[in-house]
Amino acid sequence: MSADKPENLIASLSFYLDEDEMIWLSAEWTETEEGLDQFADFMFKLHSGSLLSDCLDFLKEECEKADKLDMYTNFIFKLNAMYEDIAKLESANKERPVVRPTKVKPSFGY
């Protein structure tokens, strides 16, 4: 699924995945200060997560147009499962005291 490219592109970023699950990247921006600023802003929005809802809305609309809303639903379930896996890992990796405070013997200064 893809949208038609606008005529006056300032910046673009494309990701590709090959059969070996290697991710390929193509990036370009106009060679102006504005182009560089817009590309930096674009990258920030992309990696901070602020573009996620826009991308999901676009994908949902495209799946609805193609009468493949079930594909979008399956995609959302898989995406949510990945986020849940990350949350579980982060929860398990939280720093915990090496020795529990209840297991520490009192110190009397010697």
**pLDDT, tens only, 82-102:** 988 888 887 776 766 666 666
Per-residue pLDDT at 110 = 46
CB of 42 within 8 A of CB of 13? yes
Taking the C-alpha atoms of residue 56 and residue 17, their distance in angstroms, rounded to an integer, is 19
Asked whether the whole model's pTM tops 0.75, one would answer no
| Residue among 64, 19, 11 nearest 37 (CA) | 11
Which are the contacts of 109, defined by CB distance < 8 A and separation ≥ 6? none
Taking the C-alpha atoms of residue 104 and residue 100, their distance in angstroms, rounded to an integer, is 7
